[in-house]
């Protein structure tokens, strides 16, 4: 294994442990992950802006497959909305957790929202798939989707974190 491979592996482990630590800190109300539902929706906005923009742009691409005409401005709008959503994610994370932790949590939110969206779409597609998938696999996919939904509701924790901080300041 080369030094480059070792550094990549070490970086991967660092990201995994950071991700786990922020997840646990959010679930135990030590840091604000999503202050409220609006903050959660802003976190989903870059993913959905690019998804919807791509779907719309793909219907506008002519037969030769070149991005011209209205397809290019459609992508530009989607990218601008995604960038603004990313800005809002980091602004909320920094406002509620301070600069250093806010930047880390902002990255966590973007990565976790993309992962959650991909896993949710995959799990839901398994539930509604018409193939010969077993009932057990359907139930597992539904349980995974339910676990993700539960975690997201637990990570909308701004009020709980501020209440906990307030109680700590009173002692």
When the pLDDT of each residue in the chain is averaged and rounded to a whole number, the result is 85
Q: How confident is the model over 18-57, as pLDDT tens digits?
A: 888 988 999 999 999 999 999 999 998 998 898 888 888 8
Residue 63 is classified by DSSP as T
- What pLDDT, on a 0 to 100 scale, did the predictor assign at position 67? 64
Taking phi first (over 0 means left), then psi (-120 to 50 degrees means alpha), and beta for anything else, what does residue 140 get? alpha
Q: How confident is the model over 98-136, as pLDDT tens digits?
A: 999 999 999 988 887 777 777 767 766 766 666 667 778
Distance CA 140, CA 135 (A): 9
Q: What would the DSSP string read from start to end of 126-139?
A: HHH--SS--HHHHH
Tell me: pLDDT of 86 over 90: yes
């Amino acid at each position: 294994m080369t030094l480059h491979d070792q550094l990549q592996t070490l970086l991967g482990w660092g990201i995994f442990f950071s991700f786990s630590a922020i997840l646990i800190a959010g679930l135990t109300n030590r840091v604000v992950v999503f202050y409220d539902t609006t903050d959660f929706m802003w976190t989903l906005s870059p993913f959905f802006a690019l998804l919807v923009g791509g779907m719309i742009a793909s219907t506008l691409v002519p037969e030769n497959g070149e991005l011209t005409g209205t397809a290019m401005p459609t992508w530009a709008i989607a990218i601008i909305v995604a960038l603004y959503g990313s800005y809002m994610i980091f602004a909320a994370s920094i406002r509620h957790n301070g600069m250093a932790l806010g930047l880390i949590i902002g990255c966590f939110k973007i990565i976790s929202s993309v992962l959650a969206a991909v896993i949710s779409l995959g799990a839901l597609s398994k539930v509604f798939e018409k193939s010969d998938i077993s009932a057990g696999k359907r139930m597992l996919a539904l349980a995974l989707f339910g676990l993700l939904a539960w975690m997201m509701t637990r990570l909308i924790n701004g009020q709980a974190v501020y209440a906990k901080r307030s109680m700590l300041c009173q002692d």
